[in-house]
Amino acid sequence: MRILSRYILKESIGPFLFGFSIITLVLIMDFLVDIMNLIISRGVKPLLVLELFALNLAWMLALSVPMAVLVAALMVFGRMASDNEITASRSCGVSFLRLMIPMLGGALILTLAMIWFNDRILPESNHKARMLMTDITRKKPTWSLEENIFLDHFEGYSIRVRTIARKTSEIQDIIIIQTKNSERIITAKRGKMYFGPDGSTLMLELEEGEILEVGDENGQAFTRTDFAKQTISIPDAASEFQRTTESNRGDREMNVSMMIERNKERYQKAADYMSQADSTTRAAVMGLFPANGSTVDDISDSRIRAINKVYGESRKIQAKQTFNARTAKNYLREINSMKVEIHKKFSIPAACIAFVLMGAPLGSIARKGGFTAGIALAIFFFIIYWAFLILGEQLADKGYLPAVWAMWLPNIIVGGAGILLAIAFIRQSAVISLINNIKNLFVRRKRPQ
C-alpha cells in the first residue's frame, strides 16, 4: 500500500506544479494589465515594480494552490482511469476511497500550510502592497522643462520657458499661467529654478517681469503689476518617490489575533452606543411635576414652560439616539465583516480537501482529456466555487447569513458534490464489474470441450 500511495503522490507533483504555474501566470497577466498604465505614467523605477510584483504574489499564491490541487486531482485520476489502473486496483481489492487517501493527506498538509500562510504572510504582504501602491499613486509624473513647450504637470500651473541652461538651472523668457487660488499670468525675462529645502517645492526666482491678474469674476477687470524680482513656489512638484512607513490596516491586512482584538473593541463601542437611553430626559421631565397629591392646576406657568423646554430638548436627544443606533449598526456590520475574513483564512485553504473530493471522481468519470481538460474543468469549478464564496460574503456582510455558513458553505457544496460523484462512480464500477463477471462466466460455460 505504501508503494501505491507514493506512486499516486509522485504522479500528482507534475500536474500540481503545472496547474500552479498556469494559474499563477493568468493571475499575473491580469495584475500587470491593471497596473501597467499607472507604472508607465508615473515613471516608477524597476526595483519598485519588482517589489510591488513580489508583494502581490502572496494573494495569487493563496488562490493558485487550491486550484492547482483541483487540477492535479482531475489529471491524475483521469489518467489512471484512462489507463485502467483504477480498475486494476479494484480487482486487487483496493477501493476507490483508498486511492484517494494519499491525495487527501497531501491536501491536508497543504491546507495547514496555507492556513499559516494566510494568517502570517498574506496580511503583511497585502498591507505593504497597499502602502506601496498608495505611494505610487501619490507620486508625481517624471518631468523636465523643455524649451518652448508648456508644461502642465503641476496642479494649477502651466509653465513655458524659451531657453534653459541645464548646468546652472537658469531660464529665460518665462510665462507662467496660474489658475490655483487666483487667475493670473506671470511673465519674466529671466530667472532661476531650484527645489526648496523640503525637496518637493519648486522655487522659481524671476527677474524683470510683470503680473497680469484677473480683478473680478467676469474677467473684465485686470490688474498689472511690474516687478524687479519675484519668487513663485509650487508645492508638491518633486518627482522623487516617497515611502509610507506606517498606516492603518484594513480587514485583509490583519491576522486572526488582530481581527479578534479589533472585534472586541467594536463590540464594546457598539454596546456603549446601544446602552445610551433617554432615562435622564425622562427623569428630568418627571421631576418637574408636582409632588403626590397635587393637581395639574397647581403647576405654575414657569414650570409648564420648563416642561416644554425639556420636551424640546428630548427631541434633540431622540435624534442623538437615532445616530447612536446607526453607529452601533455600522460597528456590528464591521464586526460581521471581520468574522467573514477570519473564516475565509481557513475556508479557502480547506478548499484543497474539497477539491480532491470533487476532482478525483470527476477525473475518473471524465477519463481522457489531459492537461487541457484538467485546466478547463478546474477553472470551471473554481469559478463556481468563487461565485458561491463572493455571494456568501455579500450576504454575510449584510447580515442575511452567518459568517461561518457564508464562508464554509462553498466547501460543503463542492465537497458534498464530490462525495456523491465518488459514490456514483463506485456503484457504476461495481455494476460494470458485476456485468463483466457474468459475461465471463457465461462465455466459459459456452466454451466447447
Please, which pLDDT band fits residue 330 given cuts at 50, 70 and 90?
A: confident
pLDDT tens, position by position, 24-56: 998 888 788 767 766 665 667 778 888 888 999
Q: Which three cell numbers stand for residue 309?
A: 423646554
Q: What DSSP element (H or E) covers 165?
A: strand 157-165
289 Cβ contact partners less than 8 Å away, ≥ 6 residues apart: 299, 307
Chain centroid, CA 163 distance in Å: 48
pLDDT at 238: 61
193, β-bridge pairs: 204
Interval 59-81 mean pLDDT: 91
Q: pLDDT at residue 161 above 90?
A: no
Q: Is the model more confident about 38 or about 322?
A: 322
User: For residue 20, which of 129, 96, 114 has the smallest C-alpha distance?
Assistant: 114
pLDDT at 100: 93
User: For residue 59, which of 122, 120, 4 has the smallest C-alpha distance?
Assistant: 122
- For the chain, give the number of residues: 449
Interval 92-106 mean pLDDT: 91
Interval 264-293 mean pLDDT: 62
Q: How many CB atoms lie within 10 A of CB 261?
A: 11
Q: What DSSP element (H or E) covers 194?
A: strand 184-195
Q: pLDDT at residue 147 above 50?
A: yes
131 Cβ contact partners less than 8 Å away, ≥ 6 residues apart: 243, 244, 247
> Phi, psi at residue 203, to the nearest 5°?
-105, 130
Q: pLDDT at residue 105 above 60?
A: yes
What 3-state class would DSSP assign to 293? coil
Please, which pLDDT band fits residue 293 given cuts at 50, 70 and 90?
A: very low
Q: pLDDT at residue 95 above 60?
A: yes
pLDDT at 410: 93
Q: pLDDT at residue 325 above 90?
A: no
pLDDT tens, position by position, 383-398: 889 899 999 988 887 7
172, β-bridge pairs: 163, 190
DSSP state of 419: H
Q: Percentage of the chain with pLDDT > 70?
A: 72
pLDDT at 165: 77
Q: pLDDT at residue 167 above 80?
A: no
pLDDT at 149: 74
* Cα→Cα distances 60→29, 65, 66, 260, 350, Å: 11, 9, 11, 25, 16
**Do 411 and 355 touch, CB atoms closer than 8 A?**
no
What 3-state class would DSSP assign to 249? coil
Q: pLDDT at residue 345 above 90?
A: yes
